[in-house]
Structure 1
């Protein structure tokens, strides 16, 4: 046999990928999703029928049937049905530990890709294949991940061409590490926002940068301060636990960094407009879009 490749040893390669909170849903006129953020997850939202308003950051998009919305990790967003007709959509959230993909996505994602856009033409059949596979056999993980990896590969290839000549974002890795540190503090109940505990100083020290630099880079990259992100995570984690677990409100308060249930309840009322107990009673089906932190 000729043209054999030279002898070479390649490093061990390991990758983790997660598909979370994937669903189809039909919602009535007047419905609103509520502004939220997914900590390290990408989101794909495909409108199957009807029209919705997608709000990514401060930009509004009218999303019609066949239009595709891509949401970057850490991007504040909301969906609203401003007309009177029902709207049906398919949503998939996924996490993949590929720093090159993260950077390309963050640099090039424009949010809305309307029907007829080259990226829409490329991705919608792949999104539909994934949806079909979920309906046919959602337990066949190898098949599902094959569809998802195909979608990610095509998306990365497209963004790689779009990003030719651009420098990768210099501060994306540091911003990512800051976000992960904040997430860890929420999970470990060490994220108290009370006076006397400068958690951002601790994060800055761990990462070997100044507190000021840490704050500036994070806000520049994600459009919110580290404290704003911390409070968003606390709010979403509290909402998720209230409707998806049987833990006491006192235990939930402690798990997200509050010393007592009274402080947590006051903060929750300022967030949501009702007490944790009332939210648990009245909102059992309203937080499908929220993705809990992995403990």
Structure 2
């Protein structure tokens, strides 16, 4: 589609204009899963070029992301940026359940912005978690 400022000459010429290039935003869900595990479970240290959203459903999970440890309780959301080294384990003596969603982002600008997000752990009562899961209100 082409946008023109003055197609028919009925209005004065445009003095200046800034326009963004056309782009299509696409992403793919990869390896999305809901998992329940027993005490002692762990997942080896790894990394991937995907944005990972990890939602704790039951129990406690300890996840080490780029050398920093985070403990998630039920309802907490953990965001792991693309290419961050991370490792997870059940941090309790009881079963643990979590939901993991991986996004493969195909837009270089959005990929760059996601890589700049500094906060990893969003607690269950935080504004962002409440907005993402309105049924919890």
| TM-score normalised by the chain length of structure 2 | 0.77
Residue in structure 2 matched with residue 27 of structure 1 by the alignment: 37
- 1:100, CA displacement in angstroms? 3.1
Taking the TM superposition and a 5 Å limit, the aligned residue runs for 1:149-160 are none
1:68–1:124: 8 Å Cα contact kept in structure 2?
A: no
Choose which of 98, 114, 123 in structure 2 pairs with 1:89.
98
- Alpha-carbon distance in 2 for matches of 1:55, 1:92: 17
2:61 paired residue number: 52
Aligned length: 122
Aligned to 2:76: 67
CA distance in 1, matches of 2:97, 2:42: 13
In the TM superposition, 1:119-268 aligns within 5 A as: 119-125=128-134
Higher relative contact order (CA 8 A, sep 6+): 2
Structure 1 stretches of 5 or more lacking a match? 129-295
Go from structure 1 to structure 2 and tell me whether the alpha carbon gap of 1:7 and 1:18 turns closer, same or farther (over 3 Å shift): farther
Q: Tell me, in whole angstroms, the C-alpha distance in 2 between the residues paired with 1:108 and 1:13.
A: 22
The structure whose residues are more often strand, as a share, is: 2
Moved >3 Å (runs of 4+): 5-16
Q: Does the CA contact (< 8 Å) of 1:51 and 1:63 recur in 2? A: yes
Structure 2 CA distance for aligned equivalents of residues 77 and 12 of structure 1: 35
Question: How far apart, in 2, do the equivalents of 1:95 and 1:68 lie?
Answer: 18
Shift of 1:17: 1.7
Distance of aligned partners of 1:70 and 1:125 in 2 relative to their CA distance in 1, 3 Å threshold? farther
Give CA-to-partner distance per residue, 1:51-90, whole Å, 9 cap, x none. 1101101101110000000000110001111321001110
Could you state the TM-score of these two structures normalised by the residue count of structure 1?
Answer: 0.38
